[in-house]
């Protein structure tokens, strides 16, 4: 039997203060019974001797301090996990919202898992194919990596997230699945994600957690942990390779700031709580590989940078914890290029661990270096033509100028429904570079030039 308390002494916004409490613990779930017999859920945010501060999930409207009762449930937020979760859609608290039956859980787990112990970590390796050339060819995603996407308001990051979720795969043939967590999205966006996955069949290997903008802030804080707890079960108990996509981490951080303000905590940078870095780390560091386990968790957190500011606390702290970033360009978006990925500002720090002869192809690293150098010189030629006019460009400058245009239109701007294999991406790289004489391709080894280039030369 659970003891009920009628000692609620204060209600402030979504918070309740209860006194005379015995044995309450941090993150413990509570149930509040209102005078009309209805129930509200809550979570313990703070314990001080016999006082407990409760965060209500559904808000405090209708809570009568004198006649409401509260009981502590002696457990944290849990989710029942099972292989049957694949192909299903849940809300931010793990309840099915797709009209299907309740999940028969194989195991129940608290959602506040721990980051992977550094000693137990295995170094990320092996390639994950997203079907997007700007990622696979230049900012390669590696199993066990945390590779965020930095976007901005109005940019098509949700379309890109859906495309990655639809197309991603491991080319070695092992079991692969996607856990997709969306926080603070609109009803239309939630419908978009479900429709995209269903019409392409990707829903069968996907677990969706959808938290809407009008859902409680406390649910938004739980959503990524629900997704990661599910991913940990599938990866480390069922030996699957799991890609976790979380969008939008900015909405998550805003919810964290809202709760922090309600608790009257001393704010840090831009009003966010001083523990924002630690809180983000408890999410991001749950991705990775573990020694002795066949499965892996790879993470793509997506965040919108307020005012496109990379020094804002959310992208700034995310950059410290993760291994690179993919940056979306507003200028490229205005030019009609999709996906509008700025490859010059993007970086995958673990790229070299996932490419090469036994993973993608032997020429991958050389092609990366040459494409990057040629595009950078093409951008210089573009700037020079703006200042001095095209007449000031040499013939070789014009080749690089045209290369940069083609590279953006064809290689980066592949479209929303084009799924390229890594071989197609690398062959496209050779095709784009074939306009240059061999003497300009200084970053590609001679034996690779002789092996691959002849079939792409128009005169060959």
Angle of helix 249-262 versus helix 276-284 axis, rounded to 10: 140
Q: Is residue 359 part of a domain?
A: no
Same domain, yes or no: 296 and 372: no
pLDDT at 386: 86
* Domain around 20: 4-72
Helix 395-406 to helix 422-433 angle (10° resolution) is 160
Q: How far apart are CA 271 and CA 263, in angstroms?
A: 13
292: Cβ contacts below 8 Å, ≥ 6 apart: none
Please state the domain count of the chain: 3
Full DSSP string of 61-115: TT--TTT-EEEE-SS--EEEE-GGGTT-EEETTS-B-SS-PPP--SEEEES-PPP
Domain co-membership, 228 together with 114: yes
In this structure, are 53 and 131 located in the same domain? Answer: no
Question: Is residue 51 a part of any domain in this protein?
Answer: yes
The pLDDT value given to residue 342 = 96
Q: How far apart are the first and last CA of the chain?
A: 83
Residue 431 contacts by C-beta under 8 Å, 6 or more apart in sequence?
456
- Among 20, 45, 72, the domain-final residue is 72
Q: Are 178 and 100 part of one and the same domain?
A: yes
Q: Does residue 68 sit in the same domain as residue 82?
A: no
Cross-strand partners of 69: 33
Distance between CA 300 and CA 164 in Å, rounded?
10
Residues 173 and 301 grouped into a single domain: yes
Q: Count how many residues are written for the chain.
A: 460
Selection from 258, 216, 257 nearest residue 92 by Cα: 216
Considering the domain architecture, whether residues 183 and 219 belong to the same structural domain is answered as yes
Determine if residue 415 is left, alpha or beta; phi over 0 gives left, psi from -120 to 50 gives alpha, anything else beta. left
**DSSP H or E stretch at residue 127:** strand 127-128
Cα 148 to its chain centre, rounded Å, is: 6
Do 403 and 451 lie in one domain? The reply is yes
In a shared domain, residues 236 and 276: yes
H/E segment holding residue 262: helix 249-262
Domain boundary residue, one of 353, 379, 406? 353
Q: Structure pTM?
A: 0.92
Co-location of 157 and 233 in the same domain: yes
Q: For position 223, what pLDDT does the model report?
A: 94
Q: Are residues 167 and 143 in the same domain?
A: yes
The answer to whether 119 and 134 have CB atoms below 8 angstroms apart is no
Residue at token pair 């979760």: 85
177: left (phi over 0), alpha (psi -120 to 50) or beta: beta
Same domain membership, residue 310 and residue 344: yes
Contact 134, 412 (CB under 8 A): yes
User: Quick check: 271 and 254 in contact, CB under 8 A?
Assistant: no
| H or E stretch at 195 | helix 187-200
Is residue 86 a part of any domain in this protein? yes
Q: pLDDT in tens for each of the 460 residues of the chain?
A: 678 888 888 888 778 899 999 888 888 889 888 888 888 888 888 898 889 988 888 777 778 888 888 999 888 888 999 999 999 999 998 999 998 999 999 999 999 888 888 899 999 989 999 999 999 999 999 999 999 999 999 999 999 999 999 999 998 889 999 999 999 999 999 999 999 999 988 999 999 999 999 888 888 999 999 999 999 999 999 999 999 999 999 999 999 998 888 778 888 899 999 999 999 999 999 999 999 999 999 999 999 999 999 999 999 999 999 999 999 999 999 999 999 999 999 999 999 999 998 899 999 999 999 999 999 999 999 998 888 888 788 899 999 999 999 999 999 999 999 999 999 999 999 999 999 999 999 999 999 999 999 888 765 4
Sign of CA dihedral 416, 417, 422, 427: negative
Structural domain ending residue among the three candidates 353, 374, 401: 353
Residue indicated by tokens 């303000």: 261
User: DSSP per residue over 276-336, as a string?
Assistant: HHHHHHHHHTT-EEETT-S-EEEEEEEEEPGGG-TTSHHHHHHHHHSSEEEEB-HHHHHTT
User: Which residue do the tokens 């799991």 mark?
Assistant: 242
């Amino acid at each position: 039997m659970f003891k009920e308390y009628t000692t609620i002494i204060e209600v402030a916004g979504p918070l309740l203060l209860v006194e005379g409490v015995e044995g309450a613990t941090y993150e413990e779930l509570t149930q509040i019974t209102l005078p009309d017999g209805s129930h509200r859920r809550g979570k313990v945010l703070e314990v001080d001797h016999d006082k407990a501060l409760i965060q209500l999930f559904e808000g405090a409207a209708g809570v009568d301090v004198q006649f409401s009762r509260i009981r502590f449930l002696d457990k944290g937020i849990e989710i029942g996990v099972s292989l049957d979760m694949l192909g299903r859609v849940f809300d931010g608290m793990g309840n099915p919202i797709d009209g299907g039956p309740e999940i028969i859980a194989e195991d129940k787990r608290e959602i506040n898992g721990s980051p992977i112990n550094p000693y137990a970590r295995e170094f990320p390796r092996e390639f994950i194919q997203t079907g997007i050339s700007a990622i696979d060819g230049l900012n390669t995603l590696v199993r066990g990596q945390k590779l965020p996407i930095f976007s901005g308001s109005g940019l098509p990051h949700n379309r890109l997230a859906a495309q990655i979720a639809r197309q991603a795969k491991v080319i070695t043939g092992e079991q692969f699945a996607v856990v997709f967590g969306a926080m603070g999205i609109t009803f239309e966006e939630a419908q978009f994600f479900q429709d995209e996955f269903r019409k392409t069949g990707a829903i069968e290997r996907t677990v969706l957690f959808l938290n809407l903008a009008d859902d409680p802030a406390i649910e938004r804080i739980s959503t990524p942990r629900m997704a990661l707890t599910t991913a940990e079960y599938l990866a480390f108990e069922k030996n699957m390779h799991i890609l976790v996509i979380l969008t939008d981490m900015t909405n998550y951080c805003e919810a964290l700031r809202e709760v922090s303000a309600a608790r009257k905590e001393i704010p840090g940078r831009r009003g966010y709580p001083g523990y924002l870095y630690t809180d983000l780390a408890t999410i991001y560091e749950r991705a990775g590989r573990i020694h002795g386990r066949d499965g892996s968790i790879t993470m793509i957190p997506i965040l919108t940078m307020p005012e496109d500011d990379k020094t804002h606390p959310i992208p700034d702290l995310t950059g410290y914890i993760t291994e690179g970033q993919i940056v979306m360009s507003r200028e490229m978006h205005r030019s009609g290029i999709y996906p509008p990925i700025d490859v010059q500002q993007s970086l995958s720090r673990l790229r070299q661990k996932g490419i090469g002869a036994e993973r993608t192809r032997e020429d991958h690293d050389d092609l990366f270096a040459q494409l990057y150098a040629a595009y950078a010189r093409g951008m210089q030629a573009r700037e020079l033509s703006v200042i001095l006019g095209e007449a000031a460009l040499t013939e070789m400058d014009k080749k690089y100028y045209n290369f940069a245009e083609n590279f953006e239109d064809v290689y980066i701007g592949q479209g929303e429904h084009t799924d390229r294999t890594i071989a197609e991406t690398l062959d496209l790289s050779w095709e784009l570079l074939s306009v240059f004489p061999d003497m300009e391709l200084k970053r590609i080894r001679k034996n690779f030039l002789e092996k691959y280039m002849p079939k792409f030369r128009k005169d060959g």
